[in-house]
Amino acid sequence: MPQPSVFDMTPETFAAICEANDLPKFLGKQVLDWVYAKGVTDPQAMSNLSKANREKLAEVIDFEQGVLLAEQVATDGTRKLLLGWPDGRTPVRDAGAGIALPIALPIANAEGVPEIPTSRQTECVMIPNPERRTACVSSQIGCPVGCAFCASGIGGLDGNLTTGRIVEQVWRLGQIERSESPEGRVSHVVFMGMGEPLANLGNVTDAIRIINAPWGLGVSARRITISTVGLPAAIRKLCDFELPVTLALSLHAPNDDLRRTIIPWAEYSTVTELLDACDEWFQKTGREITLEYILLGGFNDQPEHAKELAGLAKRLRANVNLIRFNEVKGITFSRPATDDVLHFQKILRDRNVNTHIRASRGRDIAAACGQLRHEKRTVS
């Protein structure tokens, strides 16, 4: 089993590990500053730590568990990382003076690419805009929901990501910004990658605490969005979360019959039950809901669907994000025509529903909404 990840740790848990390993308690604060403020994860580069402490830390803590398997950049600047999550640790790095640091790295193939099975791979995406830098991260390896239009669930679920492995995705994407500008940083985080976040609620909320913490990544809670296909009990549990995150409901159809044809988990809760839970969310948190609606050409993008969706949106404080279907190999749905999308939006707006069309970023590298999946490529 891997050692604890530095990205799992809070100042309190780090102090406990220090105490258990005869290290000074103040070491945790110094290390977390190196990791988050300075972007350094090599303990040997943490110059204000003694040599003995650096060596001991390298023995008991993983500083990066993910292995970069591929990196792609789209024509619009969107960047996608494919990360592998090995289960073991092998002493492979010579830290000097004959000391081998144990870090997680699997055996490489003939081309030098680490061999990590797809059952331990996830993708995450950096979406740059002039005003913001958005990290789209995964919460699970694969997805248990199996939506008919989404690549992430094609292979099913292989497991939950730990708190640290969620945080590490955001940190790694932030390092891209740091490398391009010393002031660069992640400004927004969306749990819209692989997996159903509310099915891994404990790790997701713990990760958000670290992503939000001033000693961590310092991202405002109001700029962190959890996107869910809809688990009423989990939504109600999230109502008690102490941080004011944004909740997005992946509705994708305006009625139960249509929704159940594309979302298998829709069998377990009705649209009415979902909206009731979302209304409770608003009443308890004061935070509006975003209704996400993927437009599938000729399936759920007709005027009657828009009128029905408008009725649902006006039942609670909600805005609507329209998402054009992004092509996935092996999935037969089609991308709707631009005129149909604009007409759908107009019907909603004419009924006083705040509606936006989400831009499809990174389509040419399969990084857009619904396209993330297990893939095997070489590092570019």
Average pLDDT over residues 214-225: 97
Percent of the chain with pLDDT over 70: 87
pTM of this prediction?
0.89
Q: Which listed residue (123, 168, 177, 196) is catalytic?
A: 123
Binning the chain into helix, strand and coil, the percentages to the nearest 5 are: 35, 20, 45
**Residue 369 falls in the annotated catalytic set:** yes
> What is the C-alpha separation between 299 and 110, in angstroms, rounded?
46
Closest CA to 355 of 315, 317, 320: 320
Q: What is the pLDDT of residue 248?
A: 96
Q: What is the pLDDT of residue 329?
A: 80
Q: What is the pLDDT of residue 372?
A: 66
Half-sphere exposure of 228 (CA within 13 A, CB side): 23
The yes or no reply on domain 1-63 and CATH 1.10.357.10 is no
| 249-287 residue pLDDT tens | 999 999 999 999 999 999 999 999 999 999 999 999 999
Q: Is residue 212's pLDDT more than 80?
A: yes
State the sign of the Cα–Cα–Cα–Cα dihedral 222, 224, 227, 231: negative
103 CB burial (10 A radius; 0-12, 13-18, 19+): buried
- What's CA 170's distance to the chain center, in Å? 8
Contacts of 304 (CB under 8 A, 6+ apart): none
Q: Average per-residue pLDDT in the chain?
A: 87
**Residue 273 falls in the annotated catalytic set:** no
Which pLDDT band, with edges at 50, 70 and 90, does 1 fall under?
low
- The topology (CATH level 3) of 64-365 is TIM Barrel (3.20.20)
Question: Which residue ranges make up each domain of the chain?
Answer: 1-63, 64-365
Q: What is the pLDDT of residue 364?
A: 60
> Which carries the bigger pLDDT value, residue 210 or residue 76?
210
Average pLDDT over residues 121-135: 91
Q: Is residue 178's pLDDT more than 70?
A: yes
Average pLDDT over residues 41-57: 95
